[in-house]
Structure 1
Amino acid sequence: MNDWQDVNNVVVVGLGITGLSVVKYLRRYHPDIAVKVIDTRDNPPGLSELPAGIACYQGGWCNQWLAAADLVVINPGIALATPEIQHVIQAGTPVVGDIELFARHIDKPVIAITGSNGKSTVTDLTGKMAAAAGLRVAVGGNIGVPALDLIDESVDLYVLELSSFQLETTSHLKLKAAAFLNLSEDHMDRYRDIDGYRQAKLRIFMHAEAAIVNRDDPATFPEMFSGEVVTFSISQAADFALQSNNGREYLMANGHPVIACDQLRLVGRHNLANVLTVFALLQQSGICYEKGLEVLKSYTGLTHRCQVVEDNRGIQWVNDSKATNVASTLAALSGLTLNGTLYLLVGGVGKGADFSPLAPVLSSLNVRLCCFGRDGQQFMQLHPAAKQYETMADAIADIAPQLLQGDIVMLSPACASFDQFKNFMARGDAFADLAHQYA
């Protein structure tokens, strides 16, 4: 497929932001190829933005179009196990995702990051520090802008966040450095078991020159890898690690102190691991991370990730809507300094997850558990001070009159948002609006 001469008909399965980026890419770089779109939704997002002349089959599958395709490009939200896609694969037609098209097009250096949690922060900070070092950087993938929309001849470096879903359909992505941050149970509604999820993420190392892995999480290590393996850790010896000296903790690179932890504005120890990963990615890509230290010192993280949206009357409102799984909520809780009561809002779409690992952590906190959404009931047994609500707004309206100085209201739901919100960003924005209303 490097040579597009044999590709005359492409079917894009799944519209939305990613599907649109695929269509626009094909129209721009391969204008002679016939492109059609299939989306099983009756009124798919992005339909009104489709370029003129692109046919879209809505509300189901068009097997005739699939059978006639030379190439099928699927949205990462569509499982390869879907019967219609399996039929295409068995017929011998290539099935790829947008990242594979990106991989076969670009000739500039690429850094990529995957993991169950923290990948958006690492991706964003890597891009900002690389830009501070003087490079023209494009950041996207599973965060922000779709990879195909990033393509620009003026770019020096691409930094991509990649999900397991994207990696499933990617086989030729060459990387200067790739990081696998951590592994925890997620998307168990899509994978047979956690090892299937892990194997999808390990695909990030297929054509990487360097593998950045978590010394504290052996599941992140590639099983077979011919490049250089670089480790990070916040609890033991590693290439990039923490070290205390005269009562002050430092981020270390290859045994040398880089910056004191108390110079960072990021909240939570999980973010120390994220910064160490950024150092490793930049070093392995030949970029001087020291040129980005001033950017690092002022960096407060991403919107919707442990973001303080209100701090009034001594009451903090923390938006951690991006915590869509248990491990992410655990990470947020581990970084808390609590002087009053924690009102923790949890619930949504659980994706088949086991929420019991939250129980021992919650038992050590002065917490009121506010459970809402489709799977909110599953949290009720985790703590005696748990109460169920229909919506997040109902929960906040109930607790707002009880709030005292030193309390924290945190949205860290450990669930996806799709039962009541368009996405986690919309959920976080709704929380921020409620915080401004009640603070």
Structure 2
Amino acid sequence: MQLIQSDKKRVVVGLGLTGRSTMRFFQRMGLPFVAGDTRESIPDMASLREEFPDVQFHFGQALVDVCPDASDIYLSPGLAVDLPDIVALTERGARVSGDLDLFMAQVSEPVFAISGSNAKSTVTTLLGQMIAAAGKSVGVGGNLGKPMLDLLEAKHDCYVLELSSFQLERAAPAKFAAAALLNVSADHMDRHKTLVEYHRVKQSLFAATEVAVFNRQDPLTEPLQRSGMALRSFGWQSSGMADFCVAIHDGREMICRGVTPLLGVDELRLPGRHNVLNVMAALAMADAAEIALQAAIDAAKSFTGLAHRCELVANIDGVAFINDSKATNVGACIAALQGFAQPSAKIVLIAGGQTKSADFAPLAKVLESIPCELVLLGEGAEAIAQACRSDNNSGNNISNNSKLRIHFANSMEDAVARAGRVAGAGDIVLLSPACASFDMYSGFAERGDAFKAAVNALASGGQN
């Protein structure tokens, strides 16, 4: 097949997790390649050379000079397709792709794909558990956990992939057995520049899928091209008989398929109203995958969620401290706020970080209707505050929330301490930053761990 011809001049660009898995794949296949990285050096160079002793590496050098005859460039998701070197090589005839093209060319088993601005990891993991509960061997990975090419090291009955916009933008249309687009809100505007372009990339998930699953609450998730595919959907109100919704049965709120009740909302262990939608999305995908319905329901009932995604850390004097560090964009933060909002309780929101050129006006609008105080830190603190201040006159869609109290913190420990002081019994302290973490941390996990450490210190009386 064309993707693994031995006479190609392959260049793997970007030596993070995905780049290394691509290198392992070529090494297993016995195919020649060279590798490069835009960085002058990488921290674990010794282990890289030990794993790939016969590979020629290029660091910080112009690829157009060292690999002028490259025929195929396998670009890691973290690197933009419009890098000058990449553009120059494509103008010479090189083809740019990523690990998804390689993966799809190798598998004959069903592949189920999940994308969206938020909740991808939760739904991907839950769907994997539903399939496993039905007695099937399933490989789960992609943008979550194992890079997808590493999943090929073992044989599975099917695969569940989380896919980011960065992975989709360099991939050819893929024939997924089913694909779900969970939600679309502005993210990575520093890369995609406009919501229109970001939406176009996300919609490419459906280009060749057999079953498309979309969110009825979010019109941007509906397939633009519907010919040749079956449709499933999920949302709050009922729709078709094959779609998933929430309805009242015998005075109880139930998740239903059509008019058939499946499980009670009160049986879910996932916190937050927004996670009801995520469970319905996973059930819709399991239905498309023809997984035994009872196995999927049992998995949904037992699923407690993932670290750093609406994770309850502690309850201190009646105040719940929630770690949602994975909320790296405005849409995720809004989902968490709306998921936990209660008229009788206040949310103290800890937010801020690397903004990724985000627009915080939608967040400010949501905060007008939710009892809330803000504790802001990091690079994005002032940008969020400016969007939320009642005297903001920078443009349309601004906040008129004169009652919102805003506090500034210089560290996570300081933020948690300040939040703890202004929260009372029944309130929620929510870390849902609406920003990336790289201004202060190596990633969302380290930021979430810092929050948990600060909360535990507060619980033990270690903070004032």
Which position in structure 2 is the counterpart of 1:44? 42
Correspondence 1:197 to 2:203: no
The letter for the 2-side match of 1:322 is: K
Structure-to-structure mapping, 1:3-152, within 5 angstroms: 4-5=4-5, 7-29=7-29, 31-33=30-32, 35-50=33-48, 51-152=52-153
CA 1:241/1:341 → structure 2, altered by over 3 Å: closer, same or farther? closer
The letter for the 1-side match of 2:164 is: S
Instruction: Tell me the distance in 2 between the aligned counterparts of 1:154 and 1:93.
Output: 32
The letter for the 2-side match of 1:25 is: F
Instruction: Tell me the distance in 2 between the aligned counterparts of 1:398 and 1:272.
Output: 31
CA 1:162/1:46 → structure 2, altered by over 3 Å: closer, same or farther? farther
TM-superposed CA distance for 1:37, in Å, is 1.7
Q: Give the SS at the match of 2:159.
A: strand
Q: Give the SS at the match of 2:438.
A: coil
Q: Give the SS at the match of 2:93.
A: coil
Instruction: Tell me the distance in 2 between the aligned counterparts of 1:105 and 1:47.
Output: 29
- Post-superposition Cα deviations, 1:298-343, rounded to whole Å, max 9, x if no partner, equal 2111111100011232222110001011111111011215555432
Which position in structure 2 is the counterpart of 1:437? 457
Calculate the TM-score normalised by the size of structure 2: 0.90
Structure 1: unaligned runs, 5 residues or longer: none
Calculate the TM-score normalised by the size of structure 1: 0.95
Q: Give the SS at the match of 2:262.
A: strand
Alpha-carbon contact 1:16-1:45 (below 8 Å) kept? no
TM-superposed CA distance for 1:422, in Å, is 0.7
Alpha-carbon contact 2:173-2:205 (below 8 Å) kept? no
- Post-superposition Cα deviations, 1:213-247, rounded to whole Å, max 9, x if no partner, equal 11222211222231112221114534111111232
Instruction: Tell me the distance in 2 between the aligned counterparts of 1:427 and 1:88.
Output: 38
Correspondence 1:336 to 2:334: no
Q: Give the SS at the match of 2:364.
A: helix
Alpha-carbon contact 1:178-1:212 (below 8 Å) kept? yes
Correspondence 1:421 to 2:441: yes
Compare 211-220 and 413-422 and name the one that shifted more.
211-220
Instruction: Tell me the distance in 2 between the aligned counterparts of 1:43 and 1:396.
Output: 36
Alpha-carbon contact 2:286-2:296 (below 8 Å) kept? no
Q: Give the SS at the match of 1:243.
A: strand
- Post-superposition Cα deviations, 1:244-293, rounded to whole Å, max 9, x if no partner, equal 12321111113311111111111222211111111111111221132132
Percent identity between matched residues is 40
Which position in structure 1 is the counterpart of 2:327? 323
Instruction: Tell me the distance in 1 between the aligned counterparts of 2:327 and 2:231.
Output: 29
TM-superposed CA distance for 1:388, in Å, is 2.1
CA 1:337/1:356 → structure 2, altered by over 3 Å: closer, same or farther? closer
TM-superposed CA distance for 1:60, in Å, is 4.1
Instruction: Tell me the distance in 1 between the aligned counterparts of 2:215 and 2:416.
Output: 37
How many residues were matched structurally?
Answer: 437
Correspondence 1:281 to 2:282: no
TM-superposed CA distance for 1:111, in Å, is 0.3
CA 1:252/1:401 → structure 2, altered by over 3 Å: closer, same or farther? closer
Compare 374-383 and 203-212 and name the one that shifted more.
374-383
The letter for the 2-side match of 1:368 is: E
TM-superposed CA distance for 1:178, in Å, is 0.3
Alpha-carbon contact 1:309-1:318 (below 8 Å) kept? yes
Q: Give the SS at the match of 1:175.
A: coil
Correspondence 1:230 to 2:232: yes
Instruction: Tell me the distance in 1 between the aligned counterparts of 2:280 and 2:34.
Output: 44
Q: Give the SS at the match of 2:188.
A: coil
Instruction: Tell me the distance in 2 between the aligned counterparts of 1:373 and 1:314.
Output: 28
For the aligned residues, what is the CA RMSD? 1.8
TM-superposed CA distance for 1:140, in Å, is 0.6
